[in-house]
Amino acid sequence: MAATSLLRTSTTCPVDFEPPLPHSARSLQPVEGVPGAYLLAPVLSRGECEQLIAASEALGYAPKKSRRAGPPIRTNTRLLYEAHAGLSETLTQRMRPHLEAIDVSSVGQWRLAAGSRLLNERWRMNRYAAGEQFFPHFDTGYALGRDCRSLLSIILYLNDDFGEGETVFFPGGQTRDHMLPGDEDAREVRIRPTAGTALVFHHFGPLNPRHSGLAPIPDPRPKYVIRTDVFYTRTPPSGSATLFGRSPGAHRCVVLLGPPGAGKSTQLRQVSQALGYTGIDFGHCVRTELARSSELGARIQQFRRKRAALQDAAFGATTGAQRRPAGWLPDALSLELLERQLGPLGPTAGLVLDGFPRMRSQSNFLEGNRWEVLAAVHLKVDDATRAERLQGRTLDPATGQPFHSRHVPPGSESAVTRRPEDAPESVKARMVDWEQDTHPLLEHYAKRGVAVEVDGSGSPEAVTRAILHSLSRRLLEEATPLFPAPLAELLRDASTDGVNHSSHLDSLVFRYQPPSGAALYLKLAPPWGAPLKAEATFLSSESARQLALQVPVLRGLFTLGEDVQALLTEELSGTSAKQAAQACTHDPERARLVHNLAEALRTFHRAPPPGGMTDYAIPVLLRRARERLNRGEVPSRNFTAKYGPPLEGPEALARELDRLERAAQALAEGPRVLLHGDPCLPNFRVDSHGAFTGCLDLSGVGSGDRYWDLALAHWSVQHNLGERWAEAFLGACCGEHLDPDRLSFFAGLRRFLV
């Protein structure tokens, strides 16, 4: 096949336009059966169409070379044409008043682009000869930045003197190879071309229809059409919505993609916990709904029985050589089930999705105004690894969650079950479905700019780290265009790997290495996150200079996207105290480390607190905890076993906070001291002899009871060195004066506030 024709243009306008018609002479009519699709006529006169056909033939058509794997999606010839300004301006004037009537609110608050930028000036002029067609597909569109993108497709028909050649819509989303006689999803809506008429429809969001262009019978000549796009702009979202996913009524989501055995179920659990998101295993949701014998489950079962009967009627009871179409649930049924999972979560919950979307038609629904896809993660795994995982996959009978037979909980060996889907014959069929239906999503998300590929063959922990690193790099890609000029200049020649060094859900920390000098750390925080202005104030204060510990050198405080604070500091010398703890091999080293940590905290607690710092008074902390709980802002991961007694669900958390409020009544306010706020081991630096030399991450610095600091430092030592050394740390800090009730109170309260 010849290469695609080069981009062509013309020095003069190729059309001598006729006198303009009044706007009332044109009509915008909805296409029945295809929501969001319209016919606008007349846009061009027949004479104007003929001039465009002649001009395009003079420039020349050529086949388009497909970049996609597999068979070509189209067989016609085309011409890429940079439309003359006269053409774009005239079509814009004729179409704008009618395009304003099209509702695009399903994908957010967008408005038609101003001026002549309304239409994509790069036209795709298509010529269809006998037997040439455009197979069923979805349009993708173009993004000209975060806040300008195309939302509508335009097919402008230039002639109609041929047979057949209709544009066909598939409102049910099914392609022809899925269609079965009697299948309600197998609907077609056919549009007969009329010269000068524009077919307008969505190509971004839930109204994006699958469609095709049928081959014409060229009598007397081929079919000619122009394909272009309608651009929209929007007011830029806040920096916090862009970087931290907190936009009104929207879910930020991470989509996991991969063939059977890629490890999606494992990563769903681990990534959702690491991000503080809710994980939704769509296949597990289907199985749960069926087991509940609910009304929705009954409709799912009814669909499956009907689908099986249709398949048997079309292909016979045995598969044979011809592939039976995949039995995916209809989009409407899938969406109803997904909505049922979202009901209890609240509008701004972050999600990790496995099993939805499974095919291209479903991906459109994640482009609505309620969704923001941060990344579509492709877990790439070789066949041998997949086979080993599938052979060992079992189900927990209590929860229905899958795990490998090597990790069966003690005492449960006889109770585990295998999923029917993991039988060898079923896996073969699922692999075909992956290749034909789900794998095309990788190309789609690559075009959207959110696709990332991760090697899924490593250990679960290594794969999780790789996924989190890829997500942090995606966030840095979003953050960089928001940098104000002074910050961009400071980082202009510095390099970064894009890895987020923060363990907190409400902050991002990236390390930059300039060509010379100390490395720089850029910390980003939303309005509800770490108070970076307070940290900048403290770093510049006399109290910081009087500490016996070094603090980072402040390079600047900035604002991104109106409401995200950005703090730039120089890297402290020395080694992380966490790394030093992990490197300890003998008890004397561990004893010295916990003693030095206790002394570092005493250094803080003896310093005079400057004014204007965070207030850690008990009533203030309890009020903040209650507000966060009521707003659904308390991360579920804070109540996993890693951070204390595990608790699950809003009711359990509410009871725990009630208990703390009662306990506070018996606690008097302790002496107020200068608090570090986040004194875990990673936030201290030590020298080669183990002496604590510096402290960082001081956004939580404030004034309050020293047990606020002791509670987190105690947990950090316990997590890194064990219970014995956590008790030794308390002994070094408090001796015989330890107040265990006060320590327990602040340890419990921190889980609501960190």
105 & 43 share domain: yes
Q: Is 358 assigned a ligand-binding role in the annotation?
A: yes
pLDDT of residue 3: 36
pLDDT digits (tens, 9 = 90+) for 677-699: 999 999 999 998 889 999 999 99
Q: Is 266 assigned a ligand-binding role in the annotation?
A: yes
Q: Is 540 assigned a ligand-binding role in the annotation?
A: no
628 & 689 share domain: yes
pTM: 0.84
Q: Is 357 assigned a ligand-binding role in the annotation?
A: yes
Q: Is 350 assigned a ligand-binding role in the annotation?
A: no
Last residue of one domain, picked from the residues 478, 511, 538: 478
pLDDT category, 68, cuts 50, 70, 90?
low
Last residue of one domain, picked from the residues 233, 260, 292: 233
Q: Is 36 assigned a ligand-binding role in the annotation?
A: no
Compute the average pLDDT of residues 159-177: 82
The answer to whether residue 412 scores a pLDDT higher than 60 is no
Mean pLDDT comparison of 179-183, 213-217, 433-437, highest-scoring range: 213-217
Q: Is 356 assigned a ligand-binding role in the annotation?
A: yes
The answer to whether residue 321 scores a pLDDT higher than 70 is no
528 & 601 share domain: no
Helix (H) or strand (E) segment spanning residue 42: none
pLDDT of residue 4: 42
How many domains in the chain? 4
The helix, strand and coil proportions of the chain, stated in percent and rounded to the nearest 5, come to: 40, 20, 40
Q: Is 205 assigned a ligand-binding role in the annotation?
A: no
Could you give the CA distance from residue 416 to residue 394 in angstroms, rounded to a whole number? Answer: 6
Q: Is 265 assigned a ligand-binding role in the annotation?
A: yes
pLDDT of residue 568: 98
Specify the CATH number for the domain of residue 389. 3.40.50.300
Specify the CATH number for the domain of residue 664. 3.90.1200.10
Q: Is 287 assigned a ligand-binding role in the annotation?
A: yes
The answer to whether residue 701 scores a pLDDT higher than 60 is yes
The answer to whether residue 504 scores a pLDDT higher than 80 is no
pLDDT of residue 397: 61
Q: For residue 285, what are its two tokens?
A: 């949701």
Q: Exposed, middle or buried by CB within 10 Å (0-12, 13-18, 19+), for 575?
A: middle
Could you give the CA distance from residue 382 to residue 456 in angstroms, rounded to a whole number? Answer: 9
Q: Is 55 assigned a ligand-binding role in the annotation?
A: no
Q: What is the 3-state secondary structure (H, E, C) of 697-725?
A: CCCCCEEEECHHHHHHHHHHHHHHHCHHH
154 & 62 share domain: yes
pLDDT of residue 130: 94
Last residue of one domain, picked from the residues 208, 233, 258: 233
221 & 247 share domain: no
Selection from 22, 214, 20, 27 nearest residue 132 by Cα = 214
Q: For residue 83, what are its two tokens?
A: 């439309």
726 & 633 share domain: yes
Q: Is residue 101 part of a domain?
A: yes
Q: Is 26 assigned a ligand-binding role in the annotation?
A: no
Domain that holds residue 216: 23-233
385 & 498 share domain: no
